[in-house]
Amino acid sequence: MRLGDPDGDTIAEFQDEVRPRGEEPVDIVADRDGHLHVDHQRGRRARRRRVRRSRRVRSAATDADRVLMTSRKLRSTAAALDTAGRFDEARIPLERALTEGEAARGHDDVQVGAIAAQLAGVYRRLAEGGKSESLYQRAIAIMDQTLGAGHPVTAQV
């Protein structure tokens, strides 16, 4: 599935084969108003048909929306670098995402906790145990406070 902006440029792509069936909400930030286009293919590989839908964006992104979207892009970049074994390179966008997230959303926000947990994992793979441990503890404290100790996301940290 591909999401395109009013000019036809790709904003996001999703691999539908790893997504759950049924309705799935997607939170995307658009830089400006206009029509967004969703392209996806339905059916099995042998007999796919392309479906295109258009959705109107009613307002452009706010500054808070842009910070959140930038954070997501940085986390996505870091995840790709981490998967490729480029841990030192993955650390840089995560540190930036953490700094920007704290400035925009506060030190105890759930998204800040998610970034801290991701960065802790990178530090663990870089064998920087002290930094990793403190970030994991911080992430767990944030998740406990915002989601609760029994929440599945808290358990994953």
pLDDT tens for each residue of 118-127: 999 999 999 9
Note whether 53 and 83 are same-domain residues.
Answer: no
Q: What are phi and psi of 70, to 5 degrees?
A: -60, -40
Average pLDDT over every residue of 27-53:
56
Of the two residues 82 and 105, the one the predictor is more confident about is 82
Same domain as 106, residue 92: yes
Percentage of residues in the chain with pLDDT exceeding 90? Answer: 39
Residues 106-116: tens digit of each pLDDT: 899 888 999 99
Q: Which two tokens stand for residue 68?
A: 């959140």
Specify whether 31 is located in the same domain as 67. no
pLDDT at residue 141, rounded to an integer: 94
- My answer on whether 41 and 73 are in the same domain is no
Give the pLDDT band of residue 19 (cuts 50, 70, 90).
very low
User: Can you name the residues that pair with 41 across neighbouring β-strands?
Assistant: 50
Same domain, 50 and 127: no
Whether residue 69 sits in one domain with residue 52: no
Same domain, 41 and 74: no
Whether residue 73 is found in the same domain as residue 132: yes
88 and 43 within one domain: no
**Same domain? 77 vs 37:** no
Q: Which residues pair with 27 in a beta bridge?
A: none
Name the residue with higher pLDDT: 57 or 128. Answer: 128
Predicted TM-score (pTM) of the model is 0.66
CATH code, domain carrying 98:
1.25.40.10
Domains: count for the chain: 2
Q: Is residue 108 domain-shared with residue 73, that is, in the same domain?
A: yes
Instruction: Say if residue 62's pLDDT is above 80.
Output: no
- Shared domain check, 49 and 89: no
Alpha-carbon torsion, ordered 141, 145, 151, 157, to 10 deg: -20
State which amino acid sits at residue 53: R
Query: Which domain covers residue 25, as residue numbers?
Result: 2-57
Kindly report the average pLDDT of the chain as a whole number: 77
Q: Provide, rounded to the nearest whole percent, the portion of the chain with pLDDT above 70.
A: 61
Q: For the residues 57-74, what does the mean pLDDT come to?
A: 75
